[in-house]
């Protein structure tokens, strides 16, 4: 990959004398507004004009605002190139790209306030002050570390492309307290699951199916929200899902999850392939988008068809909406502790281990890359180890005591 010098965008494709802008043109227009307005804006007015433009046009997306903001400095343009590199060259997910863009945009704003506009200005003092500000903003140590991880990856990228900046190995992650696992007791879990499924309407069936799926499969909420009907094999009770880093794993449905999901899908009359969809207003929007978004044709860089995110926003449940379903179920079940989809993932893991499952098998079913991540559930196996110790370790001692007692008598 070439060094990070801004490149001149390709010329627009010409069709019958009409210029059709490419994705490079759109990006260049955001990053270099002066080039497209006849140079009417002075450089020092660019930032203010961009702010005014976003205020005048409420439809401008957060992504466009970030592109516009970062395109004004050399540091910002490096960041834009980096997040593009993460997807194209490294194969990271779109979620990783968005998170890195979010974290590094914060760094860019912090650096800009100190008149630092190039990668050369990133040093230990700036990084220290940035981390201090993040900590003062009441972010958790874990979240601050996420910002630092993004920064280190960015610095490694710059070093790889011979851009003068701070060495990434000079940055250390902060120590974090041992992760605390929250899960539900058996009685609480049963009350939670039984909240829905009594009214037999569409929303009720859908919500029960969501809870059953989360507990049966241990899916992450983003994985559940991204599922399609065509991906789930109800007959076999198993299907593969793409997890973090695009790694696929096999997950299994319990008989209860299969039953409730089958009832829900049988009642569905819409044509969308998303597994879980909204009710009411979302239905019509979803059907309208489906008619516009046939995936039969390959997507090009100039494609204006709605993306997967657009489809989801128009019909399928988002991760946040699924979280609300779980929160409401907990409230209706009278559970005072905080219950999230991830808590049900913990319940899935602890239930398996408590019933004798091998930790390596649980690691595979959860999609953990490292066994150390799965070992956070050892609190469940501790009690079983105690029982094993008492059952087997004290056997000879008890037998010896019994023999002595018999001889004395």
**In terms of Cα–Cα distance, which of 259, 198, 242, 287 is closest to 94?**
242
Among residues 106, 131, 283, 342, the one annotated as catalytic is: 342
Among the listed residues 94, 90, 76, the one whose alpha carbon sits nearest the alpha carbon of residue 153: 90
**Marked catalytic residue, from 152, 311, 346, 368:** 368
Token pair listed for 62: 């957060």
**Active-site residue, selected from the candidate residues 47, 244, 268, 283:** 244
DSSP codes of every residue in 345-385: HHHHHHHHHHTT--HHHHHHHHT-SSHHHHGGGHHHHHHHH
* Residue length of the chain: 409
Angle, nearest 10°, between helix axes 186-193 and 202-217? Answer: 150
Give yes or no for a contact between 233 and 309, defined as CB atoms under 8 angstroms apart: no
Contact 278, 321 (CB under 8 A): yes
**Active site (annotated) includes residue 206:** no
Structure token pair of residue 378? 């050892």
Contact call for residues 39 and 32 (beta carbons, < 8 A): no
The reply to whether 36 belongs to the active site is: no
List the one residue out of 372, 369, 342, 343 whose CA is nearest residue 248. Answer: 369
Residue 220 annotated in active site: yes
Cα end-to-end distance, the chain, whole Å: 88
Q: What is the spatial distance between Cα 84 and Cα 90, in angstroms, rounded to a whole number?
A: 9
Report the Cα 214 to chain-centroid distance in Å.
16
Q: Residue 53: enclosing H or E segment and its boundaries? A: helix 46-56
Q: Indicate which residue of 105, 152, 220, 311 is catalytic.
A: 220
Q: CB–CB of 286/314 below 8 Å?
A: yes
| Catalytic residue flag (residue 368) | yes
Respond yes or no: is residue 244 known to be catalytic.
Answer: yes
Side-chain-side CA neighbours of 77 within 13 Å: the count stands at 17
Q: Any idea which residues carry the catalytic annotation?
A: 220, 244, 342, 345, 368, 377
């Amino acid at each position: 990959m070439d060094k990070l010098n801004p490149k001149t965008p390709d010329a627009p494709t010409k069709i019958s004398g009409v210029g059709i802008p490419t994705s490079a043109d759109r990006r260049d227009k955001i990053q270099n507004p002066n080039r497209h307005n006849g140079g009417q804006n002075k450089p020092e007015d660019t930032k203010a004009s961009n702010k005014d433009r976003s205020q005048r046009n409420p439809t401008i997306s957060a992504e466009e605002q970030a592109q516009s903001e970062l395109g004004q400095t050399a540091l910002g343009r490096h960041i834009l190139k980096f997040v593009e590199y993460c997807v194209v060259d490294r194969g990271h997910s779109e979620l990783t790209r968005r998170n890195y863009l979010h974290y590094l945009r914060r760094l860019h704003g912090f650096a800009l306030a100190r008149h630092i506009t190039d990668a050369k200005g990133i040093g230990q003092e700036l990084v220290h002050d940035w981390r201090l500000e993040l900590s003062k903003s009441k972010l958790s140590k874990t979240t601050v570390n996420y910002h630092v991880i993004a920064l280190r990856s960015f610095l490694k990228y710059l070093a790889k492309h011979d851009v003068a900046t701070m060495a990434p190995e000079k940055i250390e992650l902060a120590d974090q307290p041992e992760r605390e696992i929250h899960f539900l007791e058996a009685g609480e879990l049963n009350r939670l699951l039984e909240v829905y499924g009594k009214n037999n309407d569409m929303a009720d069936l859908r919500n029960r199916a969501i809870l059953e799926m989360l507990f049966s499969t241990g899916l992450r909420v983003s994985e559940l929200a991204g599922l399609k009907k065509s991906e789930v094999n109800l007959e076999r009770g198993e299907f593969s899902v793409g997890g973090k880093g695009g790694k696929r794993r096999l997950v299994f449905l319990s008989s209860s999850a299969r039953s409730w999901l089958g009832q829900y899908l049988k009642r569905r009359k819409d044509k969308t392939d998303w597994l879980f969809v909204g009710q009411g207003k979302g239905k019509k929007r979803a059907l309208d988008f489906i008619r516009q978004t046939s995936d039969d044709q390959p997507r090009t860089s100039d494609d204006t068809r709605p993306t997967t995110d657009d489809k989801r926003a128009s019909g399928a449940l988002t991760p946040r909406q699924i979280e609300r379903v779980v929160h409401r179920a907990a409230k209706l079940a009278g559970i005072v502790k905080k219950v999230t989809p991830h808590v049900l993932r913990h319940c899935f893991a602890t239930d398996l281990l408590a019933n004798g499952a091998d930790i390596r098998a649980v690691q595979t079913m959860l999609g953990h890359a490292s066994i150390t991540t799965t070992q956070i559930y050892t609190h469940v196996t501790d009690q079983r180890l105690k029982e094993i110790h008492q059952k087997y370790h004290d056997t000879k001692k008890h037998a010896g005591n019994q023999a002595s007692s018999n001889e004395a008598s």
